[in-house]
Amino acid sequence: MADILLEVRNLKKYFDTPSGLLHAVDDVSFTIERGKTLGIVGESGCGKSTMGRSILKLIEPTDGEIYFEGVDISKHKSSEMRQIRNQMQIIFQDPFSSLDPRRTVGQSIRDALKKNSKYSKEKKSLEKRVFELMETVGLSARLINAYPHELDGGRRQRIGVARALAMDPKFIVCDEPVSAL
């Protein structure tokens, strides 16, 4: 039997608009086995990003069921989602708007690591991991004190990838992660 990491059943996300109800995601179902990848392809504006955000409950789905490691998270409140958030991450499509302009590259990655209990206690291991993640995503160590506005889109996107990887997640939604690279 397959080891199912994520199962989505009849997911729907509708938005009220002045011209009526917009069916951004309408009755989508799929499963993802642990260690596997699923690519969602479609035209611009077809609901791919909305589906990813709905699965992570960054926006509330209109209807449907979402099972993560066999647990129905469909009705989880935001406080309950916080408990599993480090297991489910997202790499946002727009790297500039997903980064705090007041935080340096190092601070942004460090902030994510501090939420991962494996690295939050010891400063030495935390700093080592920041540099490891920067190297993993192809960011030069000399950029550790740079701010997002000082970087091109590709480097900003790499920060987003490093932040997602910092949590050692079991599941990552990649919303056009290489579009800025």
Cα–Cα distance measured from residue 172 to residue 164, given in angstroms and rounded to the nearest whole number: 7
Q: At 104, is the secondary structure helix, strand, or coil? A: coil
What pLDDT sits at residue 80?
87
69: left (phi over 0), alpha (psi -120 to 50) or beta: left
User: Could you tell me the two tokens for 112?
Assistant: 């994510």
User: Could you tell me the two tokens for 30?
Assistant: 């799929």
- With respect to CATH, is domain 4-76 assigned 1.10.275.10? no
Beta strands at 71-72 and 63-68: parallel, antiparallel or unpaired: antiparallel
What pLDDT sits at residue 124?
80
Cα–Cα distance measured from residue 11 to residue 38, given in angstroms and rounded to the nearest whole number: 16
What pLDDT sits at residue 1?
59
Which residues of the chain register pLDDT less than 50? none
User: Which segments of the chain are extended strands (E)?
Assistant: 4-17, 20-33, 63-68, 71-72, 88-91, 171-174
88-106 confidence digits (pLDDT tens)? 999 988 877 889 999 999 9
- Domain extents for the chain? 4-76, 105-174
What pLDDT sits at residue 120?
61
Mean pLDDT for the chain overall: 91
What pLDDT sits at residue 141?
96
